[in-house]
Structure 1
Amino acid sequence: MNLKKIHNVYFIGIGGIGMSAIANYFKSNGKNVAGYDKVSSDITKSLQNIGIEIHFEDTVNLISSEFKNNKNTIVVYTPAIPKSHSELEYFSENNFNVFKRAEMLGKITKNTICLAVAGTHGKTTTSTILGHILKEANVNATAFLGGISENYNSNLILGGSEISVVEADEFDRSFLQLAPNIACITSMDADHLDIYGNHSELEKSFKDFAAKVSDTLIVRKGLPIKGITYGINENADFNAKNLEIKDGVYVFDVQTPSEYIKNIKINLPGKHNVLNTVAALAMANSLGVSLPVIAKALLTFKGIKRRFSYKIKTENLVLIDDYAHHPTEINAVVDSVKEMYPSKKIIGIFQPHLYSRTKDFANDFATSLARFDELILLDIYPARELPIEGITSKWLLNKINLDNKQISSKENLVNNILKSNAEIIVMLGAGDIGELVDVIKNNVRVES
């Protein structure tokens, strides 16, 4: 299939973070783009603002007639959409070319020099840092991101068609659709067990992905896959050392296989972000970008929305918003907060994401969430799932060894937070908790 000859592209689930980047890409390249999503959001509004027609009811009648010609229309859908979705059924039954998001990303990047970032954690930050480095280094690349870059206010860094940066998503084995030239694997912790069944199957999938890399594979030191390694104070090929925090900024040196550079600076908290930075540095350097150019680019990197995003930052009150939805990610956030604010009281507000993930990692969630001084749990965000009997936020709360803990509705959340004297408020989750952050910000600021 020649994408250049396709005029119309229709998206089912267009508001997803990965889907919206591809929709933006096609619109920017002169295609006629439209789509469906379940709810309106900031992402769908941003797409509508660039002329993409979107509706929010699963009804074939709302699809414009120009998209009902199977000769010049392709359809892209997210795996989160059920097979029974009436629009998906319509396109499938009427001989349209229908692709999963990952398949389409594979087709877009197939004839490019593809830099792919894989891992159960860290891939959004790493790929966004990498995309920014290449942009600042005048490397004409297009980056498809899984988060909204603060530098570009977008999940797409638009550039040329010769080089691409992508997140290699392990969900549904999506990353096996890619053909990466340079790739990185940041982590392989157990996740998506609703798809894989067990951790060993997940690891096998990562090894299958590694086998697809044609040029350079970069892996976190200690992972059971051979490649160029990176780490912090380890015997790694790209090794960060002499870490210091100066005025809230990490400063460190990096030893590469052939060079040494001093005083790399990043404006991101947490040692996990030092690792993400070293991974991006290793990928950019493998592509040929010099270390001084990389170091200069890192000085202007502002971060990603909902990745340790400060919404309030005063002497007496801090509000942090983060996408963390796995115990490992929660631990990384708590480590960062305690490193930055070692003597302050911290309240965590967490919205569990998926019944299956809550069930599979309940004990790990209990351990990580117990590290807060106070905890508020919201109800589980179901996303693509139906409820699992007995798996609720109350069930999880009972497992958490913490005196000051409670369940809250979204409606009572502001009042419950205002009852706390915690100086640091941390909001965590991958569901719709992000939509509550500004409500909390506006209300606690008035009271504080």
Structure 2
Amino acid sequence: MKNYKHIFFLGIGGIGMSALARYFHKRNYVISGYDRTESETTTDLEKLGIKIIYKDSIELISKAIDFVIWTPAIPKESLLYNYFIQSGIEMNKRSEILGKITAQHNNIAVAGTHGKTSTSILLTHLLAHSNFSITAFLGGVSSNYNSNYVDTGGQWMIEEADEFDRSFLKLRPDVAIIGSLDADHLDIYSTRDEMVKSYIEFASLVDDGLVLMSDVINETDLQTFRSSISTNTKLLTYGMKDADVMCSINQIHNSWTNFTYVDEKDRIIEELNIRFPGRHNIYNATAAIRVALELGLTEEQVREGLVSFKGIQRRFEWIHEKNQVLIDDYAHHPEELKAAIEALRSCYPNRKITGVFQPHLFSRTRDFASEFGNVLDLLDETILVELYPAREKPIEGISSLTILDKMKSKNKSFVTKNQLVDSLRSRSLDVVALLGAGDLSNLRNDIKKILS
């Protein structure tokens, strides 16, 4: 990259793209970019002096651009995309650049259909809090650092290993974490078996390193991974069952979880505390602790790091916490929704929980409509708003109503986002959770104003 001076990011507002933009900006490249809409992310980038355009127009870009990084979320009919293709300017996908950067360093890749962001940000905080030399490209915004990019040095790098578009096969990790293998992105893989094959290929990229796999993954899959990875690589399971690395919850009080950690080296760390509700987040913490210990952190550094962890924006994020409660969570897969609802119940037993869910992607709604319906029935009250399409075009007959029709609960309804605040104002509310990976969070401040 040394020969380039001006890098243009096509889709700069994406969480992965913006982290890369921050990386290159810190290294004194001229950065500019395009995104479809303004957001808090693009505003923060503009504050750094990065020029961003919001119209797909060739006339608005600099003639000095000599390298382009793009995301597959950009439609192929984009005027800018086609201009760069025809201009001969070198273009690389985000995943290719991330792979090239991280391959030059010792690096940790966090994969899995759920838990990537939470695990990678937890691990990043444990290391950064202990003044460890790391650079982290994150899929969410750490509340401790108010950023999706953390840079305290280059001894190790941490990156999310995204299975979408098989992007994680561009990485060359020394340590890999795989948190779950539930079916997802079937628009890419068609079947879960095809998705698992890509994960096996990903794990096989670790040579003479460490692979950590959650015990929620079935034994058949685990055996396939064991027989497929390098004989020089150690594979350990982690979780709450009969795993190599174990955690056990002792108590949950005022949203704090007290737990014990035990691993295959007979290390026992008792009375650990973290405010990050849900069994799934204790799983995530267990993987993060094991890697942190592998890199040399002490028991006391782990303990202090967990207590000082402030959470992640849109991952069980408290927006309002008084008589009434408002929480924002990114859950957008049935298993993630189930975990989020279980966490809500653990924090607020015997209280009414109203969930507002925005389905994400037409294809995911089509593939998991029954599963979404079953999980949403676990709420006391469910409100669905219109589906967030992201990169997809409509699929005939698929909408939020597809899920609503699958639900058995009588306390269910559909409202548009424009109607949501007024609809909530007229209801008896106690604990409210905004759920989904779309743009529902844009309304959270308006919703907060109507809560006591």
Common fold by TM > 0.5: yes
Amino acid across the alignment from 1:265: N
Amino acid across the alignment from 2:106: I
Amino acid across the alignment from 1:414: V
Query: What is the distance in 2 between the residues matched to 1:291 and 1:116?
Result: 23
Structural mapping, 1:43-442, within 5 Å: 43-67=41-65, 73-214=66-207, 215-223=209-217, 224=221, 225-226=225-226, 227-232=235-240, 234-258=241-265, 259-314=267-322, 316-442=323-449
Query: What is the distance in 1 between the residues matched to 2:318 and 2:249?
Result: 27
Tell me whether 292-301 or 266-275 shows the greater mean CA deviation: 292-301
Please tell me whether the aligned partners of residues 60 and 87 of structure 1 are also in contact (alpha carbons under 8 angstroms): yes
Query: What is the distance in 2 between the residues matched to 1:5 and 1:65?
Result: 17
Amino acid across the alignment from 1:6: Y
SS at 2:434's partner residue? strand
Query: What is the distance in 1 between the residues matched to 2:62 and 2:154?
Result: 29
Q: Residue by residue, what CA displacement relative to the aligned partner does 1:207-253 show, whole Å, maximum 9, x if unpaired?
A: 11000012111110252233211112x22121112521244311111
SS at 2:418's partner residue? coil
Please tell me whether the aligned partners of residues 183 and 283 of structure 1 are also in contact (alpha carbons under 8 angstroms): no
RMSD: 1.1
Query: What is the distance in 2 between the residues matched to 1:46 and 1:300?
Result: 25
CA apart distance, 1:290: 2.5
Amino acid across the alignment from 1:235: D
Query: What is the distance in 1 between the residues matched to 2:166 and 2:297?
Result: 30
Question: Between the two proteins, what is the percent identity of the paired residues?
Answer: 44
- Partner of residue 70, structure 1: none
Amino acid across the alignment from 2:8: Y
Please tell me whether the aligned partners of residues 176 and 211 of structure 2 are also in contact (alpha carbons under 8 angstroms): yes
Please tell me whether the aligned partners of residues 249 and 269 of structure 1 are also in contact (alpha carbons under 8 angstroms): yes
Unaligned runs of 5+ in 1: 68-72
Query: What is the distance in 2 between the residues matched to 1:107 and 1:411?
Result: 43
- Partner of residue 17, structure 2: 19
SS at 1:367's partner residue? helix
- Partner of residue 5, structure 1: 3
SS at 2:2's partner residue? helix
Query: What is the distance in 2 between the residues matched to 1:363 and 1:378?
Result: 17
Tell me whether 217-226 or 190-199 shows the greater mean CA deviation: 217-226
CA apart distance, 1:159: 2.4
Amino acid across the alignment from 1:335: E
CA apart distance, 1:288: 2.4
Alignment size in residue pairs: 436
CA apart distance, 1:162: 3.1
SS at 1:263's partner residue? strand
SS at 2:326's partner residue? strand
SS at 1:293's partner residue? helix
| TM-score calculated relative to the size of structure 2 | 0.94
SS at 2:64's partner residue? helix
Query: What is the distance in 2 between the residues matched to 1:145 and 1:242?
Result: 27
Tell me whether 12-21 or 93-102 shows the greater mean CA deviation: 93-102
Tell me whether 142-151 or 73-82 shows the greater mean CA deviation: 73-82
Query: What is the distance in 1 between the residues matched to 2:180 and 2:238?
Result: 12
CA apart distance, 1:439: 1.4
Please tell me whether the aligned partners of residues 134 and 155 of structure 2 are also in contact (alpha carbons under 8 angstroms): yes
Please tell me whether the aligned partners of residues 350 and 427 of structure 1 are also in contact (alpha carbons under 8 angstroms): yes
Query: What is the distance in 2 between the residues matched to 1:183 and 1:261?
Result: 23
Tell me whether 48-57 or 250-259 shows the greater mean CA deviation: 250-259
Please tell me whether the aligned partners of residues 328 and 433 of structure 2 are also in contact (alpha carbons under 8 angstroms): yes
Please tell me whether the aligned partners of residues 216 and 286 of structure 1 are also in contact (alpha carbons under 8 angstroms): no
Please tell me whether the aligned partners of residues 111 and 162 of structure 1 are also in contact (alpha carbons under 8 angstroms): no
Please tell me whether the aligned partners of residues 128 and 134 of structure 2 are also in contact (alpha carbons under 8 angstroms): yes
Tell me whether 9-18 or 82-91 shows the greater mean CA deviation: 82-91
CA apart distance, 1:12: 0.4
Query: What is the distance in 2 between the residues matched to 1:81 and 1:405?
Result: 35
Query: What is the distance in 1 between the residues matched to 2:422 and 2:334?
Result: 27
Distance 1:349 1:163, change over 3 A: same
Please tell me whether the aligned partners of residues 324 and 430 of structure 2 are also in contact (alpha carbons under 8 angstroms): yes
SS at 1:412's partner residue? helix
Amino acid across the alignment from 1:283: V
SS at 2:429's partner residue? coil
Query: What is the distance in 1 between the residues matched to 2:399 and 2:305?
Result: 44
| TM-score calculated relative to the size of structure 1 | 0.95
Q: Residue by residue, what CA displacement relative to the aligned partner does 1:23-46 show, whole Å, maximum 9, x if unpaired?
A: 011111111000000000000000
Please tell me whether the aligned partners of residues 136 and 157 of structure 2 are also in contact (alpha carbons under 8 angstroms): yes
Query: What is the distance in 2 between the residues matched to 1:419 and 1:222?
Result: 41
Amino acid across the alignment from 1:144: F
